Amino acid sequence: MASSWVRGSWPPPHILYGGDYNPEQWPPEVWREDVKLMTEAGVNLATVGVFSWSWLEPAPGEFDFGWLREVLDLLHSSGIDVALATPTASPPPWLSASHPEVLPVTAAGVRFSHGSRQHFCVHSPVYRRHALRIVDRLARELGDHPAVRLWHLHNEYACHVPACYCDVSAAAFRDWLRHRYGTPDALNEAWGAAFWSQRYRDFAEVLPPRVTPTHPNPAQQLDYQRFMNDSYLAEFTDERDLVRAVTPGLPVTTNFMGFFKPLDYFQWAAAEDLCCTDNYPDPADPASPMLTAMHYDLIRSVKKGTPWTVMEQTTLRVNWRPVNAAKPPGEMRKGSYQALARDAVGLLFFQWRAARAGAEKFHSALLPHSGTAAPAWAEVTGLGAELQTLPELNASRVASAAAIAFSWPNWWALELGSKPSAEIQMLSQLRWMYRPLWEAAATADFVRPDEDLSGYPLLLVPSLYLLTEAEATCISSYVRSGGTAVLSFWTGIVNESEQVYLGGYGGPLRELFGGAVLDVAPLQPGETVELAWADGRRSSATHWQDIIEPGAGQVLARYASGPWAGRPAVLEHRYGDGRVIYLGTRLDQAAMRDLIAPLLGGQPPVPSGVERVLRTAGPVTYEFLLNHTGTPVPVPTAPGGTDLLTGTEAGEHLNLPPAGVAIIRREPAS
């Protein structure tokens, strides 16, 4: 019954399956039933301790690890590995009752109370001291337990409190600014303090961006987002350093939340040993399969080359939407394979056993309220059994067809107020550019705009509003060396201090565009403009119109309606050895597909609603096929190869049932 996963290694030799386990919510007799049922379900990993602080330290400085050791012993005796969590995401009531100053404060000055979770200010030295003490004790007491394979630090950093505005935070912000800028004058310059008479004599005069009579300084807001990200990351690295000191070699992670704005996961991924993510697609949203693919592409991308795991998903429903649609039969399984298709090596759930009490009792679990009679239980045990046949997948990796330039500072800056249009939002722009890839079954990496982009056949750049000189250099080099880039409007507008590049929009990327963006004219929600393409086609566009003066580029399309009719809308520009397509407006999705598909170099087409992803391991390929429609779909495939899930040999067509999945393993003809 011993686990085959060697302590200290990553990835594991099998696919992880299991989830959060909160034994403190149940009496010990239930623990025994839990382990029995976990075994029945094929569960091989349990995450414990996530919200256990008030049970591990029931009073300040009084610790009780016995019950948790007993749980670990039980799991270990059944060969179930453990991700040991630090409980710092929810301090006990005794901490905030005796130190109310640890509670976070909103921009309007409201101090939160305890009674839910994440009720701490990350800058509070009192919180930090207590958090590190429980982490240290936990590591020393249980870090060397033979069941433990992973450190899971904290939980969903910053999810409810993206920023704290208390006086302690204000002081920390000033220190951060002193470190960043050195002098008040450098701060004044970076923040454009000459505007609205905001010149600071001394850092001591600076405040967090609390509520103000009107628009607060945008550079101040941007720096506050950087500062908060840094503060949470410092809390993470403090915990990490502490557990690494006690249990060297044990991999450390925390659970990401996909496209989560407050934290720059490129930075975070670099600080941990592997990535995890929590994914809760809305079954009522038809875009969910695409959004999940985009989410998983991001997680794979932030720590390239290292397999990752789903840390949380749900079997049926969540509890925090206004109306929480249930996954239809088969959806949980199919969604799980979506993760495996994009290099995941683990499928974990929140949570093992549905709670009887508390705010998440109606969040579905592996083991529902109605027990093993529930339909979900049959799906859980079925998937568990299936996964045990697939360990070979862990050695293969996705190869991507395109790169999408993405940066958190740009996201933060793009969505600050006082813009030409509040409709230009990061996720909306990403979805717009990702959809043609999704429809063409082309997997994409998300890349930092300042990383080495060579090797990607195609680069997409959606509204890279905040652009550093280094990023511009990197993108220019990519094109100059022969790359193809599709750049959208509202790219290259401001520098890292959110100050406008003068002399025509685009800034240091301006010469790539093939024309001069002289001004911008947002469209109202619902408003469209017609485009006339040079090849005679017509299409429509929304959201935005660049006002472009033609230049060295070729005009692919012009506005054909509205006050700017006749002005260029889409340019193509040979630049160096490469080429740039510049989009001055938001093309409709059909026009996007027509534009992008030819740039992808012969991806075989898939029927609408079917997802195809390729993973390779040396000469072996794994073709994942997933049917996201509600009807059976015949999918053309290359003959040869075996469906790992059915053992049948692939013919010219594969019939995928609704929510059906196939994984066709192919080896080179020998």
Phi, psi of 532 (to 5 degrees): -115, 120
Smallest distance from the beta carbon of 91 to a second copy, in angstroms? 7
Give the containing element (helix H, strand E) for 623: strand 620-627
- The single residue among 521, 532, 597, 620 that binds a second copy, judged by CB under 8 A, is 521
Residue 582 is given by DSSP the state: E
- The single residue among 7, 145, 261, 419 that binds a second copy, judged by CB under 8 A, is 419
Q: Is 623 an active-site residue? A: no
Q: Which residue, 12 or 216, is less far from a second copy as judged by CB?
A: 216
> Interface with a second copy by CB under 8 A: which range of 36-44, 105-113, 250-258, 332-340?
105-113
Among the listed residues 235, 272, 312, 623, the single catalytic one is 312
- The single residue among 10, 505, 533, 622 that binds a second copy, judged by CB under 8 A, is 505
> Interface with a second copy by CB under 8 A: which range of 32-40, 50-58, 266-274, 467-475?
50-58
Residues 271, 289: Cα–Cα separation, whole Å: 29
Residues 275, 272: Cα–Cα separation, whole Å: 7
Q: Which residue, 38 or 354, is less far from a second copy as judged by CB?
A: 354
List binders of a second copy among 21-40 (CB under 8 A). Answer: 22, 24-25
Smallest distance from the beta carbon of 104 to a second copy, in angstroms? 7
Residue 652 is given by DSSP the state: S
Spell out the residues 6+ positions from residue 61 whose beta carbon is closer than 8 angstroms to its own.
none
Q: Which residue, 52 or 443, is less far from a second copy as judged by CB?
A: 52
List binders of a second copy among 303-362 (CB under 8 A). Answer: 316-317, 319-320, 322-326, 328-329, 354-362
Smallest distance from the beta carbon of 557 to a second copy, in angstroms? 20
**Listed residue (538, 568, 536, 539) closest to 554, CA to CA:** 568
Q: Which residue, 509 or 520, is less far from a second copy as judged by CB?
A: 520
Tell me how crowded residue 108 is: count the other CB atoms within 10 A of its CB.
8
**523 touching a second copy, by CB under 8 A:** yes
> Interface with a second copy by CB under 8 A: which range of 34-42, 190-198, 387-395, 642-650?
190-198
User: Distance of CA 274 to CAs 34, 158, 242, Å?
Assistant: 28, 19, 17
As a whole number of Å, the CA-based R_g of the chain is 26
**117 touching a second copy, by CB under 8 A:** yes
Judge whether 277 and 257 are in contact, CB under 8 Å: yes
> Interface with a second copy by CB under 8 A: which range of 35-43, 213-221, 429-437, 573-581?
213-221
Interface size with a second copy, residues (CB under 8 A): 121
**192 touching a second copy, by CB under 8 A:** yes
Spell out the residues 6+ positions from residue 39 whose beta carbon is closer than 8 angstroms to its own.
78, 79, 80
- Encoding tokens for residue 629? 């429609």
**116 touching a second copy, by CB under 8 A:** yes
- The single residue among 4, 9, 77, 113 that binds a second copy, judged by CB under 8 A, is 113
368-382 core/surface letters (b: 16 or more CB in 10 A; e: else): beeeeebebbebbbe
Binding string, 235-274, against a second copy, x = CB under 8 A? ----------------------------------------
C-beta contacts of 137-142 below 8 A and 24+ residues apart: 137/56, 137/57, 137/63, 137/65, 138/49, 138/56, 138/65, 138/84, 138/86, 138/87, 139/242, 139/243, 139/246, 139/247, 140/246, 141/63, 141/65, 141/69, 142/65, 142/68, 142/69, 142/72, 142/84
Residues 666, 43: Cα–Cα separation, whole Å: 29
**111 touching a second copy, by CB under 8 A:** yes
List binders of a second copy among 282-301 (CB under 8 A). Answer: 284
**216 touching a second copy, by CB under 8 A:** yes
Q: Is 312 an active-site residue? A: yes
Q: Which residue, 116 or 655, is less far from a second copy as judged by CB?
A: 116
Dihedral in degrees, nearest 10, Cα atoms 85, 90, 95, 99: 130
**435 touching a second copy, by CB under 8 A:** no
Residues taking part in catalysis: 156, 312
